[in-house]
With several copies, the nearest count.
Chain A
Amino acid sequence: MTELAEAPAASDAGAADPRWAREALLTMYRIRRFEEAVDDLFARGMMHGTMHLSIGQEASATGVCAALAEGDLIASTHRGHGHCIAKGADLLPMMAELLAKDSGYCRGRGGSMHIADVAKGNLGANGIVGGGIPIAVGSALAQKLRGTGAVVVCFFGDGATNEGAFHEAANLAAIWQLPVVLVCENNKYGMSFSTEKSMHVATVAERAAAYGFPGVRVDGNDVEAVFAAATEAVARARSGGGPTLLETMTYRWKGHSKSDKNLYRTREEIEQWRADDPIADFEAKILDAGSLSVEDLEAVRTQARDEVRDAVRRSMQAPDADPRAFLADPAAAVFAAPLGSHVAGAPAVEPHGLGTALDATEESK
């Protein structure tokens, strides 16, 4: 079994730790600038499809992924750019994917709702609300059976907790005590339907009571608080203590998707939440703690801006996904190419205690 890199201990981490603070802030800026660029490209008609932006929610993805070690995995959602970036994806193939380029993560076949970076341990965004939860749980079962020591985090929204998929998967995670953290990013709405209306309990976290594992609610706009709660949940998962339902309270500044006219919420509510900007809040804490200077923060902003600009510029120049190549052999896109081993899509973790392939065994007969 591959030794997993140690996650930073919670005690070191936070605004006071310059290295940690810089990383966390950079990640949040990368997410924001990336999505602002997407919003802009979309508005200018240069991007296809629809987009679900997580602007305003950056602290949740960032704090959770900061608690993960190399080899740990995530499963993401339709609102997944932030998760993907926080888990270490490259901005260039992400942007290239959204711009329908052959060099995109999915070669233009998936787009925003299906971006995955399997090598980095992102099992993929998912266009289906709740669709990733059973998959994450199955991956956690595989980690347990294979003894990899890896933890799987599953992101989903508040609305997803009303799907049967959430219930079935949470129950499986509980009975098998799997190394999984169920992260519910509660932004108060499933599209237009508020959590007050969509459930008759006050918090998503208390739904954990139905499965017998801890449910924890945390300020999802406070990257340190998210990190601390996630670190605890990840440690529980890794040590065999089973799942946690972690509810991060946050808010999306933008509409649900491109078709949203914001009829179901008030301008005041939006303004109030925008005032609780996770990035500005964290910058204030950093400056308070004195770990980084104003110039340091400016450098982070510049870096994020430049990285995103670069990703846009370079992917604009990249060749489009090519229908001719695609049409030459569509079945090759649908079915897996011949493989020496079935193990693909798995993180770069060696199987543990698992034998050789059937074929090899047969040969030895």
Chain B
Amino acid sequence: MTATVEHSNGTAAPAAFGYVAGSAPADATAGERVITYSEAVREAMGQAMAADDRVVLLGEDVGVYGGAFGVSGDLHGRFGGERVRDTPISELGIVGAGVGMALSGLLPIVEIQFSDFTCQAMDQIVNQAAKIHFMLGGAAHVPLVLRAPGGSGTGAAGQHSQSLEAWFAHTPGLKVVMPSNAADAKGLLLSAIDDPDPVVVLEHKLLYKTSGPVPVEPVRVPIGKAAVPRRGTDLTMVATGVMVSRCLEAAARLEADGVSASVVDVRTLTPFDAETVLGAIDETGRALLVQEAPRHVGFMSEVAARIAESESLYRLLAPVKRLCGLDTPIPYAPQLERSVVPQVDDVVAAARALAVVG
């Protein structure tokens, strides 16, 4: 599971909805080095905090402990407890506090230890943060960043392993990103901090320790742009989160068999970059949609729907194929846990089958 460089060359092009970063971007190819995904997240936060006193981080154990997954690391040492603020175990309270801070001149980043605990804070995320700008007729906005790791693979079982992106993507007023590699982890987070609207950044536990080249400078990856880290001719894999690297690995293996696959990294679920995603599907006429979350009413349902209601439908050479997590909670036992979400072998098998249909 290696992160790739091809799709990490984000530039601070205007994001959707007209929000433009205030300065020209640094050149993305200059000054890269290989760091981990979690270092990249930390670097983004550190650079933003150094540059702007309004940026603050709060969450459970983000201080001396350095974060449940070690992501905040030394930020507490660098910026102190006022700006890197440990909180009690009160997800609803701290997301709400983030909303209030965002309404009052700060740029808060709230870390939720596991994305599963957003359940505790759904009112503040959905009924407050997402809707305030709209309900107030534009009189206020909520520049809140919510960071939370999702996903399975660590044996943490049903309440600590969910992939909940579909809920957030279905909530008008939220922007939702899922960085799949270190460079995007940094660049998308910088864009999220920049963004005047609430942005949910869904990181992935298994990716934290993966590495990739990341620009030294605070280079934003625009919210609203998908990436195409690999182009092939026989089928197009569309993936989110940890599934992007699985698809890339599968694509590499398939190449040996003479099957040539494109891989699209959705990156931004809302706003969704239909142009890039459908364009890449049109090129091959076969779509394999891969997500970790359960299939039923998941994000890939939306991608399939976009195909079904567009001209892309006429370019399909085979029915769309979704490869998703089973419609079950995530079990504890490693052998069961692996069996309920797509693995590289599953992607290879599904791709092979799809490549010959029709």
B215 within 8 A of A: no
Q: In the assembled complex, which residues on chain B have CB atoms less than 8 Å from the CB atom of A365?
A: 217
Q: Give the distance in Å from the alpha carbon of A192 to the alpha carbon of B334 in the complex.
A: 28
B246 to nearest A CB, angstroms? Answer: 18
Number of residues in B with C-beta < 8 Å to the partner? Answer: 102
Does A333 lie within 8 Å of B134, measured CB to CB? yes
Q: Which of B17-52 contact A (CB under 8 A)?
A: 17-23, 26, 47-48, 50-52
Q: In the assembled complex, which residues on chain A have CB atoms less than 8 Å from the CB atom of B154?
A: 49-50
Q: A110-B137, A358-B194 are in contact. Are A135 and B103 (CB under 8 A)?
A: yes
Q: In the assembled complex, which residues on chain A have CB atoms less than 8 Å from the CB atom of B218?
A: 358, 362
- Over the window 183-194 of chain A, the binary record of Cβ atoms lying under 8 Å from chain B Cβ atoms (1 yes, 0 no) is 000000011110
| Partner pick for A353 among B53, B69, B104, CB 8 A cutoff | B53
A123 within 8 A of B: yes
Does A168 lie within 8 Å of B65, measured CB to CB? no
Q: Give the distance in Å from the alpha carbon of A112 to the alpha carbon of B158 in the complex.
A: 11
A109 within 8 A of B: yes
| Partner pick for B137 among A105, A112, A260, CB 8 A cutoff | A105
B88 within 8 A of A: yes
A171 within 8 A of B: yes
Q: A49-B157, A134-B124, A259-B69 are in contact. Are A342 and B60 (CB under 8 A)?
A: no
B358 within 8 A of A: no
A76 within 8 A of B: no
B70 to nearest A CB, angstroms? Answer: 7
A289 to nearest B CB, angstroms? Answer: 39
Smallest Cβ-Cβ distance to A257: which chain B residue: B68
Q: Give the distance in Å from the alpha carbon of A363 to the alpha carbon of B53 in the complex.
A: 16
| Partner pick for A336 among B65, B103, B107, B133, CB 8 A cutoff | B133
**Stretch from B138-146, B230-238, B254-262 at the A interface:** B138-146
Q: In the assembled complex, which residues on chain A have CB atoms less than 8 Å from the CB atom of B107?
A: 342
Smallest Cβ-Cβ distance to B143: which chain A residue: A342
Q: In the assembled complex, which residues on chain B have CB atoms less than 8 Å from the CB atom of A355?
A: 51-54
Number of residues in A with C-beta < 8 Å to the partner? Answer: 104
Q: In the assembled complex, which residues on chain A have CB atoms less than 8 Å from the CB atom of B123?
A: 128, 131, 165
Q: A107-B138, A111-B332, A360-B22 are in contact. Are A160 and B158 (CB under 8 A)?
A: no
Does B136 lie within 8 Å of A116, measured CB to CB? yes
Q: In the assembled complex, which residues on chain B have CB atoms less than 8 Å from the CB atom of A354?
A: 52-54, 105
Does A111 lie within 8 Å of B139, measured CB to CB? no
Does B65 lie within 8 Å of A191, measured CB to CB? yes
Q: A135-B100, A358-B52 are in contact. Are A335 and B133 (CB under 8 A)?
A: yes
Does B137 lie within 8 Å of A109, measured CB to CB? yes
Q: Give the distance in Å from the alpha carbon of A19 to the alpha carbon of B67 in the complex.
A: 46
Does A164 lie within 8 Å of B92, measured CB to CB? yes
**Stretch from A26-34, A307-315, A320-328 at the B interface:** A320-328
Q: In the assembled complex, which residues on chain A have CB atoms less than 8 Å from the CB atom of B102?
A: 138, 345
B155 within 8 A of A: yes
**Stretch from B278-286, B300-308, B310-318, B335-343 at the A interface:** B335-343
Q: Give the distance in Å from the alpha carbon of A171 to the alpha carbon of B87 in the complex.
A: 10
Smallest Cβ-Cβ distance to B67: which chain A residue: A259
B101 within 8 A of A: yes
Smallest Cβ-Cβ distance to B104: which chain A residue: A142
Does B103 lie within 8 Å of A165, measured CB to CB? no
Q: A114-B157, A264-B64, A336-B196 are in contact. Are A137 and B93 (CB under 8 A)?
A: yes
Q: Give the distance in Å from the alpha carbon of A333 to the alpha carbon of B26 in the complex.
A: 31
- Over the window 240-254 of chain A, the binary record of Cβ atoms lying under 8 Å from chain B Cβ atoms (1 yes, 0 no) is 000000000000000
- Over the window 131-153 of chain A, the binary record of Cβ atoms lying under 8 Å from chain B Cβ atoms (1 yes, 0 no) is 10111111111110110000010
B139 to nearest A CB, angstroms? Answer: 5
Does B23 lie within 8 Å of A48, measured CB to CB? no
Q: Which of A57-92 contact B (CB under 8 A)?
A: 73, 75
Does A345 lie within 8 Å of B142, measured CB to CB? yes
Q: A130-B89, A165-B92, A171-B90 are in contact. Are A110 and B135 (CB under 8 A)?
A: yes
A95 within 8 A of B: no
Does B138 lie within 8 Å of A110, measured CB to CB? no
Q: In the assembled complex, which residues on chain A have CB atoms less than 8 Å from the CB atom of B336?
A: 100, 108-109, 321, 323, 326
B345 within 8 A of A: no
Interchain residue pairs with CB less than 8 A apart (25): A49-B155, A50-B156, A105-B139, A109-B134, A109-B158, A111-B332, A114-B157, A119-B139, A126-B128, A128-B117, A128-B159, A140-B100, A145-B82, A165-B123, A172-B90, A320-B335, A321-B331, A323-B338, A337-B18, A337-B196, A338-B18, A339-B196, A355-B53, A360-B22, A362-B218
Query: Which 9 residue pairs of A and B lie closest in terms of their CB atoms, listed nearest first?
Result: A134-B96, A138-B100, A168-B93, A49-B155, A111-B332, A359-B22, A345-B140, A138-B97, A107-B137
Known: A50-B156, A334-B329, A343-B54. 18 other contacts (CB 8 A): A48-B155, A48-B334, A49-B154, A100-B332, A101-B333, A106-B135, A110-B157, A118-B139, A139-B104, A145-B83, A146-B105, A163-B91, A191-B60, A326-B331, A334-B173, A345-B103, A353-B53, A359-B21
**Chain A interface residues (CB < 8 Å from chain B):** 48-50, 73, 75, 97, 100-101, 104-114, 116, 118-119, 123-124, 126-131, 133-143, 145-146, 152, 159-160, 162-165, 168-169, 171-172, 175, 190-193, 197-199, 259-261, 263-264, 320-323, 326-327, 330-340, 342-347, 349, 351, 353-363, 365
**Chain B interface residues (CB < 8 Å from chain A):** 16-23, 26, 47-48, 50-56, 60-61, 63-66, 68-70, 82-83, 86-108, 116-117, 120, 123-124, 127-128, 132-143, 154-160, 172-173, 175, 190, 193-194, 196-197, 217-218, 271, 326-329, 331-336, 338-340
